[in-house]
C-alpha cells in the first residue's frame, strides 16, 4: 500500500475498527483483552495485568526492507520508523553478554546445549536496567501521565550508555548519570534519534510541551538521588524499606530488593568502593567502602 492511496486518519480508523471488533468478540473469554484505547500513534489493547500497543503502519519504500511509515494525529505528514531494525540494534548492543549468560545457563544444566536455553529465559544487565528505569518512572509520573517519558526513549538512552555485564545497582547509577549526554539540544528542539532511522526523533513530544524535557531531567536527578540514598542505607531491612519507597510494593519490590542486595553483597565482601574523582560506587572503584554490618552493630574488634 502506498501512502498516496490512504490517509493517516483513515489507516488509524481502519485498524481501530478491526481491533474494536476483536475486543467485542472476545470480551467474555478468560485472559483476552478487556479494553481498547487510542493513543497519539497507536491503539492500546488492555489485558489483565498488562497492555499491548498496536501501531498502524504501511511500508516505507525508501527506507530499506524493514522501514515503515506511521500515523500521528498531531502531525500532518507521515512519520518514519523501523521497529524491526531497532530491535536488531538493541539486541546487538547486548549480544556479548547475552551469549555469555546463555552459555552459563546451559552449563548449569550440564547436559543442555546453548540452543536448548530459550532466548526469553536470558536477561542481560541492560534488559534489567530498562525494567528498573521504567518502574521508577511509572511511580514518579503516576499523577502526571502526560509528562511520562516514553519507554522507547528510556530504552534507547539506556542502550547507548550500556557498557556490558556488571553489577546491576552500579550500572543503573552510571546509566542515570550518563543518559543526558546522548540527548541533543538543537535550534529546532531536543533530539534523541532512532539509531537505525535518524528521521524518527524519540524526544519529539518535548517540542510541543517544553516542560516535559525539564521533568525528564528532574526525574533522572530524583532517581540518582534515590539510588545514592539506597547505597548509603545501613541494614538489609532498612534497604528493603527504602527500595519499596522508590519502586513500590508487590512483585517488582522483590526485584528491587535484589538490586539493593547486590550492592550490599559487594560491600560486605569488600568489593564495593568509590571511584576517585567521580564518586561513583562500584567494584572497580579505588577507595574501598567499609563492609556493611547489616543491622548497624559496631564491628567486633576483639
Q: Are residues 276 and 130 in the same domain?
A: yes
Q: Find out whether 33 and 47 touch, Cβ atoms under 8 Å.
A: yes
pLDDT per residue as tens digits for the range 147-198: 999 999 999 999 999 999 888 889 999 999 999 999 999 988 999 999 999 9
Predicted pLDDT of residue 154: 97
Q: Are residues 51 and 122 in the same domain?
A: no
Q: Which residue in this structure is represented by grid cell 538543537?
A: 186
Q: CB-based contacts of 217: which residues, under 8 Å, 6+ apart? A: 180
Q: Residue 301 falls within a domain, yes or no? A: no
pLDDT over 60 at 252, yes or no: no
Q: Residue 294 falls within a domain, yes or no? A: no
Q: Are residues 141 and 227 in the same domain?
A: yes
Q: Are residues 232 and 259 in the same domain?
A: yes
pLDDT per residue as tens digits for the range 12-35: 999 999 999 999 888 777 778 888
Predicted pLDDT of residue 269: 56
Which of 73-77, 157-161, 261-265 bottoms out in mean pLDDT, i.e. has the lowest?
Answer: 261-265
The whole-angstrom distance between residue 186's C-alpha and the CA centroid of its chain comes to: 25
Q: Are residues 101 and 69 in the same domain?
A: no
Q: Find out whether 208 and 74 touch, Cβ atoms under 8 Å.
A: yes
Q: Residue 113 falls within a domain, yes or no? A: yes
Q: Find out whether 57 and 3 touch, Cβ atoms under 8 Å.
A: no
Q: Are residues 128 and 268 in the same domain?
A: yes
pTM, whole model, 2 decimals? 0.75
The whole-angstrom distance between residue 142's C-alpha and the CA centroid of its chain comes to: 16
Predicted pLDDT of residue 72: 85
pLDDT over 80 at 137, yes or no: yes
Q: Are residues 255 and 126 in the same domain?
A: yes
H or E element at residue 172: helix 168-178
Which of 66-70, 99-103, 282-286 bottoms out in mean pLDDT, i.e. has the lowest?
Answer: 282-286
Specify the number of domains making up the chain: 2
Owning domain of residue 181: 94-288
Amino acid at each position: 500500500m502506498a501512502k498516496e492511496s490512504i490517509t493517516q486518519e483513515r489507516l488509524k480508523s481502519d485498524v481501530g475498527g478491526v481491533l474494536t471488533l476483536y475486543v467485542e468478540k472476545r470480551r467474555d473469554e478468560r485472559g483476552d483483552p478487556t479494553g481498547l484505547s487510542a493513543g497519539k500513534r497507536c491503539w492500546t489493547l488492555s489485558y489483565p495485568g498488562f497492555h499491548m500497543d498496536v501501531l498502524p503502519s504501511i511500508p516505507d519504500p525508501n527506507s530499506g526492507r524493514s522501514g515503515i511509515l506511521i500515523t500521528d494525529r498531531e502531525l500532518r505528514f507521515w512519520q518514519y520508523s523501523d521497529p524491526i531494525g531497532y530491535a536488531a540494534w538493541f539486541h546487538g548492543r547486548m549480544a556479548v553478554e547475552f551469549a555469555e549468560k546463555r552459555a552459563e545457563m546451559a552449563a548449569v544444566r550440564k547436559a543442555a546445549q546453548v540452543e536448548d536455553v530459550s532466548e526469553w529465559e536470558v536477561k542481560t544487565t541492560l534488559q534489567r536496567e530498562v525494567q528498573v528505569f521504567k518502574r521508577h518512572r511509572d511511580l514518579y509520573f503516576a499523577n502526571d501521565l502526560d509528562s511520562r517519558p516514553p519507554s522507547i526513549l528510556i530504552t534507547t538512552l539506556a542502550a547507548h550508555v550500556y557498557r556490558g555485564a556488571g553489577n546491576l545497582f552500579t550500572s543503573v547509577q552510571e546509566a542515570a548519570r550518563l543518559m543526558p549526554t546522548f540527548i541533543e539540544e538543537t535550534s529546532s528542539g531536543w533530539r534523541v534519534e532512532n539509531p537505525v532511522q535518524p528521521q524518527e526523533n524519540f524526544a519529539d513530544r518535548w517540542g510541543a510541551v517544553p516542560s516535559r524535557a525539564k521533568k525528564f531531567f528532574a526525574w533522572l536527578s530524583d532517581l540518582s538521588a534515590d539510588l545514592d540514598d539506597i547505597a548509603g542505607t545501613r541494614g538489609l531491612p532498612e534497604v528493603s524499606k527504602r527500595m519499596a519507597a522508590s519502586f513500590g510494593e508487590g512483585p517488582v519490590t522483590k526485584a528491587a530488593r535484589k538490586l539493593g542486595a547486590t550492592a550490599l553483597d559487594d560491600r560486605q565482601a569488600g568489593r564495593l568502593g568509590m571511584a576517585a574523582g567521580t564518586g561513583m560506587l562500584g567494584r572497580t572503584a579505588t577507595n574501598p567502602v567499609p563492609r556493611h554490618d547489616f543491622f548497624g552493630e559496631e564491628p567486633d574488634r576483639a
